[in-house]
Structure 1
Amino acid sequence: MTPPPSRARHRVRRALSTAAAAVAVLGALAVPPAHAGASQVPVFRDGFGLTQVADGSVVRGDTDFTLTVTSAEVTGPHRIRVFLPSGYAADPGRRWPVTYFLHGGPGTVDDVAAVPALRSDDMITVVPDGGRKGWYADWVMQNTALGAADWETFHLEQVVPFIDANLRTVPDRAHRAVSGLSMGGSGALHYAEARPDLFGHVAALSGGLDFGMAEFRAAVLATELNLPGAWCAISSAAPGTCADYGPYVDSDAVFGSPYPVLGADRVWKAYDPAAPTNLSRLADTGITLYTGDNDLIESYTARAAHTVKARLDQLGIANRLVDYGNGASLSPACNGGHTYACWAPAFADWVPRVTAAFAAAA
């Protein structure tokens, strides 16, 4: 039975008030970009709707560089950071598998520097900008303060073929993975479901995977309204410790109305990475989920991860869930919280597994 509108609104608002403070750490610590160097990098040609910005490159070395591009799909310039294997230039006849890393909110492409395992000599790693609150979706509203916001189209129909056209990749699903954490964790699972022809492997870390949970709908609303930033502005928190999710946008901007009344939340349901219909598209995909459960946000991500696992099991789809609880089983540095101290060792566990799968598919 559908709850009355007033009760549904009260339920989401109550969850929103709980999540507003907690969501300030979604995506966690951004890492400052390194200074540009003088190294040479592969020459990229514009295409697939992407135009490179002149003087928009940051070069840290032959195997670590950032491009800046524009696209009609997402307003403003956006960066793409790339890690190449150390042997890329020395072996010009070799092609490489690719892993895409989707950062959390309100992160940047430079967050990847906190994950050493993604600088692998066995694969190319690509980190596209996902916006402070892009949620890896094509937004319902395109006329907000942020302008065009078709993030999913930008990534899947532009960035992926752009990378394949300009780098020596193995351009098939068996040699392409998508991974992400927090906001990027839900994005990674959604992208694997939306385009199983592109991605044969997915890893979702501490993701907001279940959009049926009011807490995750509330988290999206909090980022749309920049409630963490507003809360910090009147708090006594130290400068620089509060998340800023950018300009205020309408609470229906990303996925439309969050209220489950008369089908108003149909976009949420269609996108929902935990929906059995969407999960069924992963029948031939290598699936790994990671979560802790030792702070407020991780208590929600753990619930969502276990829901996804249970539904995958019911569908008969192989999957691997690593619930490291308080972190003791994962790393001495991990306390089970929503932090790179846990995500970095989780990636250190996953990367050798996915590179072995890439090699087995050769």
Structure 2
Amino acid sequence: KWPKGTVVFGMGLLEGNKMSSSKGNVILLADAIEEYSADVVRLFLMASAEPWQDFDWREKEVRGTQRRLEWFREFAQKVEDIKGEKLDLSNIEEVALERSIDKWMISQLNVHIKAATEALEVFQTRQALQHALFLLKKDLDHYMYRVKDLVDKKDPAVIYVLSTVLSNWIRLLAPFTPHTSEELWEKFGGEGFVSFAKWPEYDEELISEEIERSESLVQNIVKDINEIKNIVDTDPEKIHLYLAPDWKWELYKIADEVGKPDIGQIMGRAIGQNIYDNKKEIANVAKKISKEMTKTRYIGKIDEATILNDAKEFIEAEVESEVVIHTDDSYDPQNKARNAMPYKPAIFME
């Protein structure tokens, strides 16, 4: 049978220089495997360059790859420790997820499965590993930080999310680190050999831009509050968050439909639809939205009240103050509520 495709491999470099046996600057594959293991060598080579590109063997980066693989082993064990009993990856008990952060992690997992799968289909091993290892680890680190207070409580949702991530992650890395993946698959209850296990499948319905924006909302709030605290050099007892009223969301939607920062057209449609009585205020907000829409894409209204209340304890711990979330301006001593915009609540400290 004819091969499905051919690839011309790139040259090998050593610490930035062309390998040459006559100059003695070569590293033998057998020596590299003996020192670092076959999985580390495979992982480094496929992560450092696409197959047709030149790779550069750098000891410092190889050792970094070795540490990442050791971390992955430790993470697998940590999931079992969090559960408090032996993992069975072939029989993960499903849990209905309610918290936004849990849904976010599952969404990101599916994003990376999709990207890694599409990259491997065109032999882009480096691109595949960016998602199958590095970016997925970045998202997992963020998730672990967000749920750090739940880790010791054997929270069912956290255990389900971490078990699901691990099951998919081992299979994602199997082409790159076959020995480690087989070992972990067997140790933590995978069925059969991981090399014969079904490749992870992404679910488009679990990939949610709304969930992604929800988590960005939480992180941006924490960032904005701490920046304000540093600027004014204060430690407030209470931090009030004011959410944008419905008419501002409707105005943002109109701006998105217009498709460009045309204030006159946005205003005309808004007045025609009678979204708000105060035309001057509509004009002011339309100007803000016209500037913001080039940076923040409209994805529809998100339930900011539920999202922020869900993350309230986390936000309070991060900003070290009590947080009060307002859906109206019934308490607004400094008239800050009028600054609230979709995806960007207004902040008042006292």
TM over 0.5: no
Return the structure number with greater strand share.
Answer: 1
In proportion to residue count, which structure has more helix?
2
The TM-score, its normalising length taken from structure 2, stands at: 0.25
